[in-house]
Structure 1
Amino acid sequence: MDNMQQTIHSINGTTNGHCRLKSMNFEVPENSFSHETQGLSRNRLVVRRGKPFKVTLKSDSWLWNPSTERLVLEVCLGGLSKRIPVLFYEEQSHPQLYDWTATIYPGNMHPQSVIIHICAPVQSSVALYELLAHIETRRSRITYVLGTFVLLCNPWLKDDPVYMPLDAHKEEYIKSDYGLVYMGSSSNVSKRPWSFGQYEPGVLEACLKLLEFSPQHLTDKNKDYTLRSDPVYLSRVVCAMVNCNDDLGILEGKWQGSYKNGVKPTDWSGSADILLRWASSKCRPVRYGQCWVFASVLCTVMRVLGIPSRVVTVFNAAHDGNGNMIIEEFYTRTGEKFGMSKDSIWNFHVWVECWMRRPDLGAGCDGWQVVDPTPQEKSEGIFCCGPCPVAAIQHHWLDARYDIPFVCASVDADVVRLIVHNGLVVGKTVDTECVGKLIYTKSIGSDKPENVTLTYKPDKSKRMRKNITLCKNTATPRSVSVPQSTPTNLSDSPYFSGIMSPNLNMTLKIVGVPKLGEPIHICVTITNQCKNPRVLVGHINAQVKEYDSSPSEAFWDAQTEVQIQPFSVTTLNHTISHFKYQSFLAGDDIVNLAVVLKDMTTKETFLAAEEFSISPPQITIQIEGGNSIQLKKERTVLVSFTNCLSTALYEVVLTVQGAGLLEGKQVAKIILLQPGEKILKTVSITATSPGTKLLMATLSHSNNPNIIARWYHKVSVTA
């Protein structure tokens, strides 16, 4: 149905001599410009609540006689409807923010047409509405179906709960279809561009379908429609629907094993493909997602619905299973970390912040709210998290809704590292700074990161938190599942309450930024703060790990011994050569590094740990004529990779793809790529829609089954 201009037919009665309504025009271009909704739909009217939009009704002569007839509009939503008498401007008493209005302004009434300005209440429900027109007398009524329109939240309107004052913020957090996801580790941050794709054909409809297939809507449509006026409610519904754990949601998560029956999470570069696959598959979940995919899709849906949103990365994000704000980690005496705790720390975790007022909590909780769609813990019985006010997280207001304790632990738990040997805990360190060490989001109008850590982290001198029971002699015994060599009751160990000697300090540091193909340099600094010399022996150990899980077996270790004099500082330098890690690590892989030293005299054991990521080699993407291209105009792209590694690569595959730019994948292959040699692929791109698009290139080879390099290039498409 063309909503710009359409012929109208009555659905009841006859005209009885009255002139029929012949056609109507939703004035889509003008309304879209006025309501900041350009590009969201090609043929459907999309407007924002609380702001008037105009429609034009046409007939062969006067549409109705105001002295004997009434013109009434009706908006319908499921089983709900609202009649809106059409009034002339002078008949309106005052502007209505909280009721529907339909107004004819002076000069807008003509013999064969009338322009009506319709305004929805500032807290109307977000949905697809049907619009009817009635011409009524005391004894008759003629009804016409005018068409449908979509109503969204309005961050441009001060009275809307999602109001955002600054235009630059609205441009970034509502209108922009391009973003960055920060990944890697806090010491070596990498960034992954993401195409939110809200202007791709069908994305708006997919977002509306998501609401229609939520459990809330399927259970009680009218109640759901009514509650959709509230951005708090909307964010919880969408958050739960982005994962498929409880419902007909969009994405199925997977963090390990084979991805052959789906798409590997690292292969996604935009939300549109995911949303369109889900919408066209009768709501079967799209395989597969991980945290940044869940978050980026959620950000797209919220921006489409009119709620300002941004993707946020927490580095060293804790998953506190028992809510005690303590994360336990266990190491062997040789520095290997093993996964025997229900708690965990993700090197990075990605969620979304949504902007809204919180009248349910008070003005102190207005502003950015954490909404996390990655299914980790249930919130009021469903797999969603939030909206959780960032201000409440910072101040540890643990009784505020929703999910404050879980999110507080994610950014501010303490880490207790225990060294286990022969059934005993022989050493322990407590780290109060590791969790939530760095929190990033994309800057406004820039590809640089904005550090928002201080908006989450409480003032250490003022915060209220539970004492760390592991530092007390009154630690409560409990049974845990542990490896065979560890005690069943860890707290029974005589060393369980011991604190690492204050007379020795040890730090572990990675020198420079580790890059694939180059050696990794490690520096251990030991400070002896007592009057006695020390003889220390131990191990340093490296393990590859996924960003969200415990590390696998060690791929490198070294024994070390050092004699350190009283009140002195000693450094130990180690190097992991490329030959030692080349068959284990690929680009963006994360390494867990730990050093454990034992004092041969006092028998004390000391631990220092660090995690870091490997930077991948670069793939070069060059667009002839520059990075701004015109819609439907063909352009040539040169994609190349030069082997910067010290070894030859076999069966090299260079793959190029880009939603909205390329059909399918373009591939170049070479059997052998010597150090310093180049592989090149030339592709032609044509943009099918305006906005920001992404070209993605990946490189793999038979030396290592993983993709060793992944690179993105931003393309600006103009109409």
Structure 2
Amino acid sequence: MPGETAWSRVSVSPEPAAEHSTTFAVPAVSDALTLSSLSLEALRNASAHRTRRFELVRLSRPVPVLRRGQHFDVVIKFNEQRPFDLEKDSLRLVFSFGQNPNAVKGTQGVVSILNDSSECWPVHDGRWYGRLKNSDSNETELEIRPSADAPIGVWRLKVETGVKEESSAIPKVYEHKEQIYLLFNPWVKDDATFMEKQALLDEYVLQDVGKIWVGTYQSHWGRQWVFGQFDKAVLPAAMFVLERANLDPTIRGNPIAISRAISKLVNSNDDAGVLVGNWSGNYAAGTAPGAWTGSVKILEQYHSTKQPVQFGQCWVFAGVTTTICRALGLPSRVVTNLVSAHDSNASLTVDKYFDYNSRPLDTGDSIWNFHVWNEAWMARPDLPKGYGGWQAIDATPQETSDGVYQCGPASLQAIRQGSVGFKYDVQFLISSVNADVVYWKQDPTAEIGYRRMNASTAEVGRKILTKQANVFDATGQADMEDITWLYKAKEGSQLERSTMYNAARGSTNARRYLLQPGEAREDLVFTLNDLDKINVGDKFEINVTIKNEVDDARTLDVTLCASSVYYNGVEANLIKKAAGKFKIRPRGRDVLRLEVTPTEYLPKLVEYGMMKIFAVATVLETKQTWAAEDDFQIVKPKISVKVPEKVVAKQVSSLEFTLKNPLKTTLHNCKLQYEGPHVLTSNVTIDMDDIGPEEEITVKGDVTPVRKGKFGLVAVFSSDELHDVTGSASVEVQPVA
């Protein structure tokens, strides 16, 4: 029978009596049934457990991948030429997890087979149950139901047979040699990961290609990512990650503990986790974050080398986190916060300091153009009713929590309500999506050495995005879902402000910084005109509009500046700066302009093409001060992916990738990578010739899909001069004729 497993019998012998000791009667070895083979029916059970897409299940020797809380079939054959007799024979299956399994602690499932033909199983009470399904002279078929809160991971199995009349006889014991994977089961209501709207699980557990939104508030797009949770390398790698977390086996069934451990182990900062973070722009020692197309290659390398993989950034951490969560059966999605705050001192503010000469100072606080984390779905019995559901977890190492770099799970409801006292890291997430931005300038006459300029209550958390469930747009953004409302009330509303003040009451630093009185009305009104996006190779302008609302002239000291920045807000290169003094007439209106040309910014552009402009002004007569900044993106071209009209499973098909060099300079060291689960067996890299100035090129590649269905394909182009150029397509694979 396919999937049958070889068995080894464990001989059980009595210990010899010590000399001069009292001799007791030694029980005879039972004349019980002898196992010939056992099959966990990996393929049949996989269909019922929604695990058939795992490649481990489809190997020549299938590996059982099961979900807890749901019954599965076991088929046993005995050597004796008689059927198993429930009245005469005893049969016990013992499932064990961890080094010291214990049924009381939930790490051992002891199943005594009962003759129960009823359709209803006992209520979930933390125990495992089994019943006889069918028995004849050839084989015995059983149904086993694991506990709905059983630990997640690799289980072992042994079987004991005996004769009921021989209660004192030693049973025959057989050990199963192969691993049994047991996963979360969000389709079962007694599982802590249960999701009532089960159609959503097609996305949040079973979808293996998705999107991660990147960019700026004005210009953002969904970058495709291959989660690949069903790849044969992923589940063993995920289990290796959990082993490195050193969780007590008794809590390995708790999604709260599991998700928090994943947020710790996907980064390498504490426990030699999966990925090394790098935002420097120098990736010579590893792979540039922008070159990854999915999680499989990362997890495969991590598991095989047992060393952290170089390099990742927040969206790569989030992609890998979703892969691990979905592989384990924990519903998960990737979330992008456009204009995300990093509050380093728990003040619920991002404080921007400038020196006498209007140069920005590093204070530890920062604003990221975008930051990506994850949400996982689970019950929260440790919190008051109503705080379950989506929980934010963040694997990007920013600040420590309980002494290590981990974040969450934080209830979205707690974040929205400002409930900073609830576990875990709620206050940090509130700051990320809703911190006030406060500007300060060095001033020796001020009490603390800095004068507060102005503050913005609506700059952070401009839009929070995820991929819409069960919708996929390969080339557009029709699958984008705005979930800002899940994190906070409408910006500027009374409820939103009340939430922030509620959160501030639970933090000493927040009371000191956030609950400051507003500034009095000033004479001059300043406006920095936002830029949406600029095509690479085009020029742009910084424009500041100034309106004098009094009858006296005013003298201004103004600085305008443009810099290239990494997406986490860290300045890469100063591109252009202008400073000077000028007068504005009474009731006058002026516009200050600073033009930046391609020849000025292109040599200093860094990955993702992020730019920051800021302006600082001081009114000399009144000491009124003002500052503002804006982030935008230099937009790069997309790769056009052409797929044949007919793609057939197990047959070679040709793809065409077309890209135009937008620059007036040659691109060197050009590479194209593409990947797609079920379309390709691995990531493909093509080394390309140099691409001339404004030249359009087409590269051909092949795919041999392994099975029919609709799948996603992701492509990434990189060169010395132009990075992180992406493209994607949907591939409809037809069955073999």
TM-score computed with the length of structure 2 as normaliser: 0.85
Mean alpha-carbon deviation: is it higher for 536-545 or for 124-133?
536-545
Match of 1:104 among 107, 132, 140: 132
Aligned to 1:610: 630
Mean alpha-carbon deviation: is it higher for 418-427 or for 680-689?
418-427
Output the CA distance in 1 between the equivalents of 2:340 and 2:221. 16
Q: How do residues 352-431 of structure 1 correspond to structure 2 at under 5 angstroms?
A: 352-420=374-442, 425=450, 428-431=453-456
Distance apart, 1:512 and its partner CA: 4.3
What is the CA deviation profile of residues 469-512 of structure 1, one whole-angstrom value per residue up to 9, with x for unaligned ones? 9999x999xxxxxxxxxxxxxxxxxxx99947534322222344
Aligned to 1:462: 498
8 Å contact kept, 1:47–1:150: yes
Distance apart, 1:549 and its partner CA: 4.0
With over 3 angstroms needed to count, the CA separation of the structure-2 counterparts of 1:689 and 1:663, relative to structure 1, is farther
Match of 2:145 among 111, 119, 133: 119
With over 3 angstroms needed to count, the CA separation of the structure-2 counterparts of 1:663 and 1:306, relative to structure 1, is closer
Output the CA distance in 2 between the equivalents of 1:718 and 1:168. 25
Aligned to 1:251: 275
Output the CA distance in 2 between the equivalents of 1:353 and 1:664. 30
Q: Secondary structure at the match of 1:304?
A: helix
Output the CA distance in 2 between the equivalents of 1:470 and 1:284. 39
Aligned to 1:314: 337
With over 3 angstroms needed to count, the CA separation of the structure-2 counterparts of 1:601 and 1:91, relative to structure 1, is closer
Aligned to 2:296: 272
Aligned to 2:371: 349
What is the CA deviation profile of residues 130-161 of structure 1, one whole-angstrom value per residue up to 9, with x for unaligned ones? 12222112223112234442111110011211
8 Å contact kept, 1:630–1:718: yes
Distance apart, 1:342 and its partner CA: 2.0
8 Å contact kept, 1:326–1:415: yes
Q: How do residues 169-208 of structure 1 correspond to structure 2 at under 5 angstroms?
A: 169-208=200-239
Aligned to 2:601: 581
What is the CA deviation profile of residues 344-383 of structure 1, one whole-angstrom value per residue up to 9, with x for unaligned ones? 2222211111100100112221111111111222222222
With over 3 angstroms needed to count, the CA separation of the structure-2 counterparts of 1:475 and 1:395, relative to structure 1, is closer
Match of 1:700 among 719, 723, 727: 719
Output the CA distance in 1 between the equivalents of 2:508 and 2:31. 87
Distance apart, 1:414 and its partner CA: 1.5
Output the CA distance in 1 between the equivalents of 2:467 and 2:480. 5
Mean alpha-carbon deviation: is it higher for 353-362 or for 416-425?
416-425
Percent same amino acid at aligned positions?
28
Aligned to 2:109: 82
Match of 2:241 among 206, 210, 225: 210
Which letter maps to 2:639? Answer: I
What is the CA deviation profile of residues 613-662 of structure 1, one whole-angstrom value per residue up to 9, with x for unaligned ones? 22112222212236xx44432111112222344x2435472523436636
Match of 1:340 among 362, 373, 388: 362
Which letter maps to 2:254? Answer: D
With over 3 angstroms needed to count, the CA separation of the structure-2 counterparts of 1:200 and 1:717, relative to structure 1, is farther
Distance apart, 1:90 and its partner CA: 4.6
Q: Secondary structure at the match of 2:635?
A: coil
With over 3 angstroms needed to count, the CA separation of the structure-2 counterparts of 1:127 and 1:587, relative to structure 1, is closer
8 Å contact kept, 1:335–1:594: no
Output the CA distance in 1 between the equivalents of 2:290 and 2:732. 23
Aligned to 1:69: 89
Aligned to 2:617: 597
Q: Secondary structure at the match of 2:337?
A: strand
Would you say 1:34 and 2:61 are equivalent positions? no
Output the CA distance in 2 between the equivalents of 1:514 and 1:257. 22
Which letter maps to 2:346? Answer: G
Which letter maps to 2:368? Answer: W
Output the CA distance in 2 between the equivalents of 1:189 and 1:650. 25
TM-score computed with the length of structure 1 as normaliser: 0.87
With over 3 angstroms needed to count, the CA separation of the structure-2 counterparts of 1:572 and 1:470, relative to structure 1, is farther
Which letter maps to 2:214? Answer: M
Unaligned runs of 5+ in 1: 217-223, 477-495
Match of 1:323 among 338, 343, 346: 346
Root-mean-square deviation over aligned CA pairs: 3.2
With over 3 angstroms needed to count, the CA separation of the structure-2 counterparts of 1:227 and 1:656, relative to structure 1, is closer
With over 3 angstroms needed to count, the CA separation of the structure-2 counterparts of 1:716 and 1:343, relative to structure 1, is farther
With over 3 angstroms needed to count, the CA separation of the structure-2 counterparts of 1:603 and 1:471, relative to structure 1, is farther
Output the CA distance in 2 between the equivalents of 1:96 and 1:659. 42
Distance apart, 1:206 and its partner CA: 1.1
Output the CA distance in 1 between the equivalents of 2:657 and 2:69. 48
Aligned length: 679
8 Å contact kept, 2:29–2:170: no
Aligned to 2:727: 711
With over 3 angstroms needed to count, the CA separation of the structure-2 counterparts of 1:160 and 1:621, relative to structure 1, is same
Output the CA distance in 1 between the equivalents of 2:497 and 2:405. 34
Output the CA distance in 2 between the equivalents of 1:674 and 1:92. 71
Output the CA distance in 1 between the equivalents of 2:536 and 2:520. 35
Which letter maps to 2:431? Answer: A
Would you say 1:551 and 2:571 are equivalent positions? yes
Mean alpha-carbon deviation: is it higher for 109-118 or for 560-569?
560-569
Match of 1:633 among 628, 636, 651: 651
Distance apart, 1:529 and its partner CA: 3.4
Distance apart, 1:62 and its partner CA: 2.6
With over 3 angstroms needed to count, the CA separation of the structure-2 counterparts of 1:321 and 1:697, relative to structure 1, is closer
